[in-house]
Structure 1
């Protein structure tokens, strides 16, 4: 998992490798740091142990998912050692509890009422954890037959929307998850990102390993629009065939607080593609400007002011802020908030760099197509040749036997009878 960044009120929060780092953007305060490698260890004989399948009991403490509540007063993370850690963030960060999940998790989301935290894991299950009682064990809510990769809740907490490795987006009733409202089907690879625009609560944005972003009316499962990010990319005429075949997995979709702008990031591609959402026209998702980044992006998030913060793979400039003005997005390099956060992040660059994977973290999720026709034809040819040789030997043996019988002399007639 690469670095994760979120905006939490006046805090900029990022996690990479084993550390969570929260920096106040307004005041010169010491950053809050939570290190999973030194956190509470898992006790023996927990409820999670009894439900676990017993595989992969040990973890490396790497943070896998991070979430902030709608008000920004709560945050949660989960790591490779199966911790589920809850924080209070109102005036200063405070650790509330550490609980244990059954299997490694992929996505976290708070309900709008902030009394429940939903946790999706790699086995395809979603568990519900109480926020009111931070020591209570999780309760199984629903399950998929495939690994869950993303999850979100509708703004009224009516539906929980889950996406899995098998290209499915499922819309389920939160209070009765066995009651499935709809499926949003159309992606050709795993679905990696789900986002509901804040001012368009009836719409759903999804990103996939097939390199497309789709807009849905999720309650009916109807697809409204689809964009192929590879087709939008401005490529030079000398681009090689290998580059043409490169996969572009959508790794992040972020919506501005006013719901009017969407930023899309593909894994390890130094470009942010912007869209504008327009509910008044048939072109609901409109292509806007594109920003070329100086380094590969690790993550991005909008702050309450609608500015886009982009975490970069660079020690000297690990963060940039982009503001919208006159139909384009411009880098704000003089922001005092930016400089303050960067100064706090630089001492922890090793942790950020450790979270920047050189290989694709989505690579193992792609479907593998086996072309066994060549192997089949080769084996078939070998069988035909073996059969030909076999029957050739049998015919030769039959001819030899026939020839021997013909050349055999008849026995002389006995004259004893005379």
Structure 2
């Protein structure tokens, strides 16, 4: 796994407790442990006895740099079953098996991990992994609801290949995604309340590519990372999320999210318009090309001695403005919250924020996220900053931080605008 963030001088050293359940996906958790140790944090691994049948204690000790224990009777003089939990800034339980979540939900304390869970007062992240039938069983879903009610975050599992020939929901999310969510909870413990259950969210992400010929295209530097970060955070808050994605460089699809791939601005417009008709929230995070060639060559354009021929351009549809107009015309539900993004640079007519305010007035959306771009800002980076403008006139600064952190702050404001009947408080 490639770490998304590395430690820098002055970064606080945090204490991360990683509990490992007895599932085949335990081997993936080694990458999560490495991520946090390389980020400069102190990591303690507490496996269950079943986990040690998949991964040996020596592996966990080598990766974390700390001894590993499973028994409450180890290190009795240090009262380990209390001290480990009390000292943690973050607890990650992965893979969280059906049995482990059942024991945690009922308050069992029959091994070092479950005993430690009763003593923690920091964010706890459960990352389920099991066969689809086990995940969907009413008992497991009841235990998940109990853990969430107790204040824990339970990640939505990914869908895909399981053990054997089985496939479906229940796959452990990608280790880098687990690390991203863990980092978010370290940065902002209250970032992922389960408050968007029942809310249907459609997000556009990435850039569009407008073809010139079968080889070349007009495009932009958008990586899709901010759109995918929004999807990741919304899904973990309980929303049903669809991402309409153009060209992206994100490391992987967010767990529990439907991904629809498109190529150019017209395809993106068509998909967003169709899917917005059944959405409670629409977020236009994609960087849509403003122009496209009038004609697309059927074969590769040759260089030629005469030099390049002029390329005639025409304007692409204004997707954000079109969505607002569709809502006004009744083609999109009147309660749907519409959020736009503005990637701006200052010029002789005004600064970034000035252009953002003008764009909010032109587009007519409910919220507009304004980012300064250029010189290594926003596009393709791991961090982001900007402002969140609302149609009611408020302006909120979004301090520099991870794109997942920015997403959590944006979704806080979105949730305020979603009517209660379209989500669970």
The two structures have a TM-score, normalised by structure 1, of 0.27
> Over alpha carbons, which structure has the higher Rg?
1
Higher fraction of helix: 2
The structure, 1 or 2, with the larger RCO (C-alpha pairs under 8 Å, 6+ apart) is 2
